[in-house]
Amino acid sequence: MLGRILLGCAVVVAIALAVLTGPAQSQREGWDSQRVRMVRQQIEARGVRDPRVLEAMRTVRREQFVPESIRTYAASDSPLPIGFEQTISQPYIVAYMTEMLALDSDHRVLEIGTGSGYQTAVLATLCDHVYSIEIVPELAERSAKILQELDYRNVSVRLGDGYLGWPEHAPYDRIIVTAAPPQLPQALVDQLATQGRLVAPVGRNPDAQKIVLVTKDARGNVRQQDQLPVRFVPMVRGTDRR
């Protein structure tokens, strides 16, 4: 049975930010300019239009969520390995899926697959609170630590099985899944609020996956629409890690 570790940034003590001077300041400015260029060339140019999403992509420091050994590629238009057979998603896909959620500042969001914590940080910039579940213990601990150090206080990270969701805090205004199940877990659909949106990659075959958008109307009727073809790592069940 998987254990639970609540490493939520909502309960951590705020970390004092160091003052950047000299070479550190120059390096920070370099990363900032690379992110601005990344958003303009890789994201905005490919059709993402929501100004809040674009600003979040410019603001969230992707380089902080990438392993130091490959940090020079942080602004590249590609997924990158983060260990444990997992990846940090391509910036365009992060922006695309985030825009599809149509987030408001008062929304509560369930994220399945914390991974590096990068998508989590983007969501946290745009909504009231993010409840994020990660099945790999080392990633859950590492991403929670990074989010804590970067002072994202409206995030709770839990070690657990994403197929089960996080029923204690349901229903959620929005749900996002960052690994691909063969079929959408019914538990996640059940935990979606009325008038809610769920965005997920779905498909057993990596060469035939699609992002799907699930909406639930005021009467609880569910509609699913196929969107962009993608290639994600598979979503792992809790039983697969025993």
Q: Where are the domains of the chain?
A: 9-17+79-241
The topology (CATH level 3) of 9-17+79-241 is: Rossmann fold (3.40.50)
Cα 9 to Cα 15, 41, 134, 135, 173, distances in angstroms = 11, 32, 15, 18, 20
Instruction: Return the SS3 of 13.
Output: coil
* The total number of residues written for the chain in this structure: 242
Q: State the DSSP H helix or E strand holding residue 224, giving kind and residue range, or none if neither.
A: strand 222-230
Neighbouring-strand partners of residue 224? 214
- Annotated catalytic residue: which of 76, 89, 132, 156? 89
CA angle 58, 104, 120 (to 5 degrees): 50
pLDDT (tens place) for every residue of the chain, 242 residues total: 444 444 444 333 333 333 444 555 566 667 889 999 999 999 999 999 999 999 999 999 999 999 999 999 999 989 999 999 899 999 999 999 999 999 999 999 999 999 999 999 999 999 999 999 999 999 999 999 999 999 999 999 999 999 999 999 999 999 999 999 999 999 999 999 999 999 999 998 888 899 999 999 999 999 999 999 999 999 998 755 54
Q: Look up the pTM and report it.
A: 0.86
CB contact at 8 A, 231 and 208:
no
Q: How far apart are CA 209 and CA 71, in angstroms?
A: 28
Place of tokens 């989590």: 120
- Is residue 105 part of the annotated active site? The answer reads no
Contacts of 186 (CB under 8 A, 6+ apart): none
